[in-house]
């Protein structure tokens, strides 16, 4: 028998807690990443620590949480009860240990305190926990889960509470950095869900008075609201909703026990169903569900006893029960919406009339588009059969588990050579390629009709599977991969315009990225360095020049990069720039400025922000 196929006692190995976490981090924190995506591992580490502080607030102690991120070091300080001093080491380094297993101490909690902080500890090169209570303090320090120091102070004047400091391990989270935009969004959600809580992040204060109403106020500008935000609260449930004047698809922000369930789940599905049922009964009309929900912007938060999530990162609720004496999640939400929303609409006839007009408008538009949509779907099916535009990934062809979409990526690129390079070098299991033909249409100020009439947009919409709802999105990461020249930049802008015009939630929820590819390759016989900027090129030349004259290549386009080289740029070391919205401007303002007919203003903007890139032979030789 071949030695490699033998299975003996020598093959059996037991891992301790930290080894298992470090060997299989995805089981505990989802994907790793470098911080360019809001669901990357470094944000899950931060969330796991904050969740424990939030639970202190929920239990009535600690109204303020101080958070600092300087470089790669994170510090989270709460003023809750503090970890029992004799258990400070255990709760961050022993599996199945924590206060959340005792329902007398924690009810409807967010964090687990059995796995979360242990994952942070194991995946950090530096981890320190300090607890203060009853005038005493205990602390412990670790390196990748190994205890290096601990102290017990019999007397201290420090305020009670818990302070956790950590530095994520760069060997696991490669080239990572925390992006303040993602951290701030996370912290805003915490205060929306916990009125009365104050979070101070790097000196900036976050607080909310009206909960989910404040969330929607920040999410959709007043001018774009069809009617004033409807805000309804119950014992274990809170909802807020309005409809957008300009947005086409549905947008939901859903939460369970303070956890942002970005993938929805049983509660979000029940809520969408309840809104339709309630409005049908209120208007006594059997309206289409899609007409009722079209352009809705809404948020829902519920509290469940011992919720069951479909992954450790808690992004999708799987529970069907509320817990205790309460009915099922579906029944509870349906009864609340039917009662509260129906009463609200009876008391606010003007809002009810605006809502009905919106439904009727959606109905007319749907009927007008019905013929075009049927033809468009037929074309999309034929194109899919012949595989002309989309090279799909195996995860969608062989795996039906929706939660695995977190690993999937769609590259949108232009031109046969660029598409060919990416297709040949991609990870066929999780990475798909959609090939554009020429420049897309500028769809600013156009109606949804254009999506069905334009072949490129129709097939792209079909590939993403987002016509009806964002819940059906097939790819977690949508990456625009174009040349770093004027034409490539223009294609990027046209694609971003398409998403902003018709599917802004893709950008709001952090699904859209720009692929960074190297501008230069600097190499000698022993080493090759790929450079993404002018400074990196100069540094590479300085380094390799010590060993002789280096060869410098300027990549003009993606098609010039061979598949053997491209694999380096879309693998573990992929560099992505997230597309983010300017929180000070509305989508309409952004589109009007960049894509509208304001030529003089835009011309001045371009001149003021022009970057002159030297690319002469003399500069390369310098």
- Of 285, 218, 211, which Cα lies nearest the Cα of 251? 218
pLDDT at 191: 96
More confident residue, 101 or 275: 275
Confidence band (pLDDT; 50, 70, 90) for 263?
confident
Nearest residue to 126 via CA among 170, 161, 180, 176: 170
Closest by CA to 88, choosing from 191, 6, 161, 14, is 161
CA atoms within 13 A on the CB side of 39: 25
Locate tokens 């190995």: which residue?
13
Poorest-pLDDT segment among 113-122, 134-143, 179-188, 417-426: 113-122
Q: What radius of gyration do the chain's Cα atoms show?
A: 27
Q: Which listed CATH number (3.30.230.10, 3.40.50.720, 3.30.460.20, 2.60.40.10) goes with 212-365?
A: 3.30.230.10
pLDDT digits (tens, 9 = 90+) for 574-595: 888 899 887 666 676 777 777 7
DSSP state of 559: G
Q: Which CATH class is domain 402-517+565-608?
A: alpha beta
Look at 110 and 408; give whichever has higher pLDDT.
408
pTM: 0.81
3-state secondary structure 402-443: HHHHHHCEEEEEECHHHHHHHHHHCCCCCEEEEEECCCCCCC
Q: Comparing 101-105, 284-288, 333-337, 410-414, which segment has the lowest mean pLDDT?
A: 101-105
pLDDT value of position 622: 34
Q: Stretch 210-231: mean pLDDT, rounded?
A: 93
Say whether 195 sits in a helix, a strand or coil: coil
Q: Which residue has the higher pLDDT, 175 or 353?
A: 353
pLDDT average, residue stretch 498-526:
89
- What does residue 76 show for φ and ψ, rounded to 5 degrees? -125, 120
DSSP annotation of 139 reads E
β-bridge partners, 244: 225
- The per-residue pLDDT for 104 is 42
For 57-102, write each residue's pLDDT tens digit. Answer: 988 888 999 999 999 999 999 999 999 998 889 888 876 544 444 4
Q: How far apart are CA 414 and CA 416, in angstroms?
A: 7
pLDDT (tens digit, 9 = 90+) per residue, 235-249?
889 999 999 988 888
At residue 259 the predicted structure's pLDDT band, cuts being 50, 70 and 90, is: confident
Work out whether the CA dihedral 197, 199, 205, 211 comes out positive or negative: negative
- Give me the pLDDT at residue 34, please: 87
CA distance 101 to 119: 17
pLDDT given for residue 345 in this prediction: 96
Torsion of Cα atoms, 47 then 52 then 53 then 57, to 10°: 120
381: how many CB neighbours lie within 10 A of its CB?
11
- Would you state the pLDDT for residue 615? 42
pLDDT of 388: 64
Q: Do domains 17-207 and 402-517+565-608 have the same CATH topology?
A: no
The pLDDT of residue 286 is above 70:
yes
Q: Which of 573, 275, 191, 593 is nearest to 565 (CA)?
A: 573
For residue 159, give the DSSP letter.
P
The string of pLDDT tens digits covering residues 343-371 is: 999 999 999 999 999 999 999 988 888 77
- In sequence order, what DSSP letters do the residues of 458-495 get, joined into one string? HHHHHHHT-SS-GGG-S-SEEEEE--SSHHHHHHHHHH
What is the rounded distance in angstroms from the CA atom of residue 372 to the CA atom of residue 383?
16
Domain borders along the chain are: 17-207, 212-365, 402-517+565-608
Relative to beta strand 576-578, strand 512-515 is antiparallel
Residue 35's region, left for phi above 0, alpha for psi from -120 to 50, else beta, is left
Under a CB-based contact definition with an 8 Å cutoff, are residues 481 and 422 in contact? yes
Predicted local confidence at residue 362, as pLDDT:
92
Q: How confident is the model at residue 113 (pLDDT cuts 50, 70, 90)?
A: very low
Most trustworthy range by pLDDT among 56-60, 219-223, 277-281: 277-281
Confidence of residue 400 (pLDDT cuts 50, 70, 90): low
Which value, to the nearest 10 degrees, does the dihedral of the CA atoms of residues 510, 173, 206, 190 take?
Answer: 70
The residues near 277 (Cβ < 8 Å, ≥ 6 apart) are: 334, 337, 338
pLDDT at 381 over 80: no
Q: Which CATH class is domain 17-207?
A: alpha beta
> pLDDT category, 105, cuts 50, 70, 90?
very low
């Amino acid at each position: 028998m071949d030695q490699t196929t033998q299975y003996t006692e020598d093959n059996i190995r037991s891992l301790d807690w930290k080894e298992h976490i470090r060997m299989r981090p995805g089981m505990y924190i989802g994907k790793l990443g470098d911080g360019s995506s809001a669901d990357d591992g470094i944000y899950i580490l931060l969330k796991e620590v904050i969740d424990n502080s939030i639970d202190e607030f929920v239990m009535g102690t600690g109204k303020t949480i101080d958070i600092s991120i300087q470089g790669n070091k994170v510090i989270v300080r709460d003023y809750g009860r503090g970890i029992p001093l004799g258990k400070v080491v255990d709760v961050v380094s022993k599996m199945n240990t924590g206060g959340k297993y005792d329902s007398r101490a924690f009810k409807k909690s967010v964090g687990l305190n059995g796995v979360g902080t242990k994952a942070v500890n194991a995946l950090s090169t530096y981890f320190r926990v300090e607890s203060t209570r009853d005038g005493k303090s205990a602390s412990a320090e670790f390196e990748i889960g190994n205890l290096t120091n601990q102290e017990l102070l019999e007397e201290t004047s420090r305020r009670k509470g818990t302070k956790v400091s950590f530095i994520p391990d760069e060997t696991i989270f490669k080239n990572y950095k925390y992006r303040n935009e993602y951290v701030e969004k996370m912290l805003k959600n915490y205060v929306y869900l916990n009125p009365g809580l104050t979070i101070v992040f790097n000196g900036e204060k976050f607080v909310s008075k009206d909960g989910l109403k404040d969330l929607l106020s920040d999410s959709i500008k007043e001018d774009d609201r069809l009617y004033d935000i409807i805000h309804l609260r119950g014992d274990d449930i809170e909802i807020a909703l309005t409809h957008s004047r300009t947005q086409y698809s549905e947008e939901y922000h859903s939460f369970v026990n303070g956890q942002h369930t970005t993938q929805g789940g049983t509660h979000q599905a029940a809520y969408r169903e309840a809104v339709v049922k309630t409005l049908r009964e209120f208007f006594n009309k059997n309206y289409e569900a899609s007409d009722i929900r079209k352009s809705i912007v809404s948020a829902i938060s519920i509290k469940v006893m011992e919720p069951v999530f479909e992954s450790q990162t808690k992004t999708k609720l799987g529970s069907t029960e509320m817990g205790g004496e309460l009915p099922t999640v579906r029944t509870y939400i349906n009864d609340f919406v039917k009662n509260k929303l129906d009463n609200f609409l009876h008391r606010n006839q003007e809002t009810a009339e605006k809502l009905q007009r919106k439904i009727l408008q959606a109905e007319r538009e749907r009927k007008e588009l019905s013929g075009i949509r049927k033809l468009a779907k037929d074309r999309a099916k034929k194109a899919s059969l012949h595989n002309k535009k989309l090279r799909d990934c195996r995860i969608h062809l062989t795996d039906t588990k929706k939660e695995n979409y977190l690993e999937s990526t769609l590259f949108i690129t232009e031109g046969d050579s660029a598409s060919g390079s990416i297709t040949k070098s991609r990870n066929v299991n999780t990475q798909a390629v959609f090939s554009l033909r020429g420049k897309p249409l500028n769809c600013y100020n156009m109606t949804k009709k254009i999506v069905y009439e334009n072949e490129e947009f129709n097939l792209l919409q079909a590939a993403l599977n987002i016509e009806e709802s964002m819940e059906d999105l097939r790819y977690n990461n949508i990456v625009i991969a174009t040349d770093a020249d004027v034409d490539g930049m223009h294609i990027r802008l046209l694609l971003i315009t398409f998403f902003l015009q018709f599917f802004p939630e893709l950008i709001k929820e952090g699904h859209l990225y720009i692929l960074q590819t190297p501008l230069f390759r600097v190499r000698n016989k022993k080493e090759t360095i790929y450079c993404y900027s002018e400074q990196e090129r100069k540094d590479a030349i300085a380094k390799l020049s010590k060993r002789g004259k280096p060869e410098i290549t300027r990549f003009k386009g993606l098609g010039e990069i061979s598949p053997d080289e491209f694999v380096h740029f879309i693998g573990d070391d992929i560099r992505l720039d997230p597309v983010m919205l300017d929180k000070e401007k509305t989508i309409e303002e952004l589109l009007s400025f960049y894509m509208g007919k304001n030529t003089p203003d835009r011309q001045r903007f371009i001149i003021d922000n022009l970057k002159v890139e030297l690319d002469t032979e003399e500069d390369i030789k310098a």
